[in-house]
Amino acid sequence: MAEFAYVDQLPLGPNDTPMRRLDVAGYRVRGSGDDAVLEVDQSAIQTLADAAFRDLAHFLRPAHLAQLRRIIDDPESSANDRYVALDLLQNANVASGGVLPMCQDTGTAIISAKRGHRIQTDGTDARSLSHGVYQAYQDLNLRYSQMSPVDMWTEANTQNNLPAQIEIGLGQGLEYEFLFMAKGGGSANKSFLYQETKSILDEKRMLEFLKAKIESIGTAACPPYHLAVVIGGTSAEFALKTAKLASAHYLDTLPEQGSDAGHGYRDQDFEQQVFELTTQLGFGAQFGGKYFCHDVRVVRLPRHGGSLPIAIAVSCSADRQVLGRITPEGVFLEELERDPARFIPSTGLAEITDASASVAIDLTVPMTEIRAQLSACSVSTRLSLTGTLIVARDIVHARIRERVARGEGIPDYLLEHPVYYAGPAKTPEGLPSGSFGPTTAGRMDGYVAEFQALDASLVMLAKGNRSAAVTASCHANGGFYLGSVGGPAARLAQDCIRSVEVIDYAELGMEAVFRVEVENFPAFLVVDDKGNDFFKKDDRTFVGLSPTRLRS
């Protein structure tokens, strides 16, 4: 019989992440030696959370930005990989100005903390953390995305982005540690759990399994991703939670090898194999290429002999996580990059953006003419849109369906203009638009055939891949789906959106119907009127990758 030993399933090594000290009071050491305790006031906890979510809205980790730059420098990147990477770097630069958040989906606030056993507070820590989140979302040009269930079928926006998801566990000594995340809906939706069996605990079978599952993630959560795979787990929820932490690189200092003690570990060899696999999928950084992922983390956990949970999660292009810490030395927040411009190449930008490769589409003309312009292009064509878009998303689609069912018909604006699935962040004072990137198109798939049969939604603009039903409907009705680069919402607001006006359902806030005037708004033709879908493997045109690489 093995002797008793406590097993920490996720034993982390020392963390040397550069931190900055906040100018915050409200903490003091009482006593000395083993009796010392660190008293922390709620004001310090609230200020830390407030500062964390301010930073998360505007700044990224330097390592993430360096990975975007790596895509630009890699000769194996496709032209579209480089185009997306540069767009995301330029977006980070706009966001770092502190006015436009990096993405219009400013996320669900998630806080995971470990309170050392010699930290003393009055016990209302979760309330103070929530208050810090509230303050940041109130003060900045962020978006309120949280929907409260009023009854089973009715929801109301909470108008402050609360509730935050807060978990406080027990840690060691005089340290209070925090991981703050602002998780976008599209990114959160790409967390998956599979209940498998020992039969796939084999390298070849596992890689085959993962290939299919990773491919099914698609591009809706704005790649390049930080992908996490967790194999094993003492429960389904622990596997999923571990995947989320791994995608935030929070578990990077796990042991590199397993043992018979029952702790988890990081398998860096297998990470490399899975990364190689992702480069072969062909999705690339959204529109074909190598960089579907920046990197991969694989964590192997202990499991019950009769269970094999496998969890997959991603961190998207809004890779928003920041560490916090309160110690006797002060209140600290991870140092994020204040100067993303240093990652943007000083030469060759015109070659990457290659404006001459874009086809200008005039959206000021009647829909039949807009569709004729698009019909002359093939899928994967880069487009530059100028004119009017109608913004409508989830709730409006449901309401318009009800309206049609009542016999009131489709509103003219959906017949006369292309529809852009999006929902803006708050509009900063003096600017025409808040951060305003595309949302996940797939959520609107269920409406497409019905609306297109009524001559609405014949040209759609959003991000991510669509279902076969959308391709079939576009084929049958002469419709098109245009993909916009997902992620660079601040840059789109600054450079491409000239005016924004609410024209219907104003009470829905960010989910209202907006009329938007755009200029040189970048997009790709993804689904055409001839039954072609860029993301359907056989039809993909990969720019900048050799056919050999793609076939292998």
Contact by Cβ (8 Å): 520, 496? yes
Work out whether 99 is an interface residue with ligand SF4 (CB under 6 A). no
Interior/surface letters 246-255, b for 16+ CB within 10 angstroms, e for the rest: bbbbbbebbe
* CA dist 351 → 80, 242, 346, 427 (Å): 12, 41, 12, 32
Minimum separation from the CB atom of position 35 to ligand SF4 (A) = 46
Would you count residue 486 as binding ligand SF4 (CB under 6 A)? yes
Given a contact cutoff of 8 angstroms between Cβ atoms, the answer to whether 270 and 258 are in contact is no
Tokens of 273: 């194999």
**Comparison of 177 and 511: residue with beta carbon closer to ligand SF4:** 511
Closest CA to 283 of 548, 526, 462: 526
Q: Is the dihedral of CA 453, 455, 458, 464 positive or negative?
A: negative
Shortest Å, Cβ 11 to ligand SF4: 30
Half-sphere exposure of 383 (CA within 13 A, CB side): 29
Q: Which of residues 409-448 bind ligand SF4 (CB under 6 A)?
A: 437
CB of 107 to ligand SF4, least distance (A): 6
Closer CB to ligand SF4, 136 or 174, in the complex: 136
From the list 157, 317, 327, 452, which residue makes contact with ligand SF4 (rule: CB under 6 A)? 317
Q: Which one among 310, 316, 419, 448 touches ligand SF4, defined by CB under 6 A?
A: 316
- We find the least distance from the C-beta atom of residue 441 to ligand SF4, in angstroms, to be 11
Q: How far is the CB of 221 from ligand SF4 (least distance, A)?
A: 4
The least CB distance from residue 134 to ligand SF4, in Å, is 20
Give min distance, CB of 439 to ligand SF4, in A. Answer: 6
Of the pair 50, 319, the CB lying nearest ligand SF4 is at 319
HEC letters along 479-497: CEEEECCCCCHHHHHHHCE
The residue count for binding ligand SF4 (CB under 6 A) is 13
Considering only residues 168 through 227, tell me which ones interact with ligand SF4, judged by CB under 6 A. 184, 186-187, 221-222
Q: Which of residues 333-392 bind ligand SF4 (CB under 6 A)?
A: none
Site string for ligand SF4, 284-303 (x = CB under 6 A): --------------------
* Cα–Cα separations (whole angstroms), residue 543 to 43, 69, 533: 53, 19, 16
Instruction: Provide, rounded to whole angstroms, the least separation between the CB of residue 141 and ligand SF4.
Output: 15
In the structure, how many helices (H) and strands (E) does the chain have? 16, 23
Span from 259-267, 312-320, 493-501, 543-551 in contact with ligand SF4 (CB under 6 A)? 312-320
If the CB atoms of residues 490 and 545 are measured against ligand SF4, the closer one turns out to be 490
Among 318, 389, 400, 518, binds ligand SF4 (CB under 6 A): 318
With tokens 């967790």, the residue in question is: 230
Piece in contact with ligand SF4 (CB under 6 A), picked from 315-323, 345-353, 426-434, 515-523? 315-323
Angle 400-402-404 from CA coordinates, rounded to 5°: 70
Q: Give the nearer residue to ligand SF4 in terms of CB position, either 184 or 264.
A: 184
Tokens linked to 76: 């194996």
Residue closer to ligand SF4, measured from CB, 146 or 452: 146
Report the SS3 class of residue 311: strand
Q: In this complex, which beta carbon is closest to ligand SF4, that of residue 118 or of residue 463? A: 463
Among 288, 309, 487, 522, binds ligand SF4 (CB under 6 A): 487
The window from 68-76, 79-87, 248-256, 311-319 that contacts ligand SF4 (CB under 6 A) reads 311-319
β-pairing, 19-21 vs 321-327, is unpaired
Taking the complex as a whole, the smallest distance from the CB of residue 310 to ligand SF4 amounts, in Å, to 22
What's the start-to-end Cα distance of the chain, in Å? 49
Residues with Cβ within 8 Å of residue 124, at least 6 apart in sequence:
42
326 pairs with which residues across the strands?
Answer: 176, 331
Nearest alpha carbon to residue 106 among 152, 150, 148, 162: 162
Question: Which of these, 421, 416, 422, 413, lies nearest to 370 by C-alpha position?
Answer: 416
Encoded one letter per residue, x for contact with ligand SF4 by CB under 6 A and - for no contact, window 247-286 reads: ----------------------------------------
Cβ 247 to ligand SF4, closest distance in Å?
Answer: 12
Q: Which is nearer to ligand SF4, 222 or 492 (CB)?
A: 222
Q: How far is the CB of 189 from ligand SF4 (least distance, A)?
A: 8
Strands 330-334 and 147-149: unpaired
350: left (phi over 0), alpha (psi -120 to 50) or beta: alpha
Nearest to 426 by CA among 81, 165, 142, 136: 142
* Region of 1-9, 155-163, 314-322, 509-517 interacting with ligand SF4 (CB under 6 A): 314-322
Q: Which residue's CB comes closest to ligand SF4?
A: 184
Closest of 155, 220, 149 to residue 190, by C-alpha: 220
Q: What's the angle, vertex CA 470, arms to CA 465 and CA 474, rounded to 5? A: 120
Instruction: For ligand SF4, give the closer residue by CB, 226 or 325.
Output: 226
Is 85 a binding residue for ligand SF4 by CB under 6 A? The answer is no
Per-position DSSP letters for 218-246, written without gaps between them? TTTT-SSEEEEEEEEESSHHHHHHHHHHH
Give the Cα separation of 546 and 523 in Å (integer).
Answer: 23
Nearest approach in angstroms of CB 215 to ligand SF4 is 18
Q: Chain-centre distance of CA 225, in angstroms?
A: 8
Q: How far is the CB of 442 from ligand SF4 (least distance, A)?
A: 12
Binding site for ligand SF4 (CB under 6 A): 103, 105, 184, 186-187, 221-222, 316-318, 437, 486-487
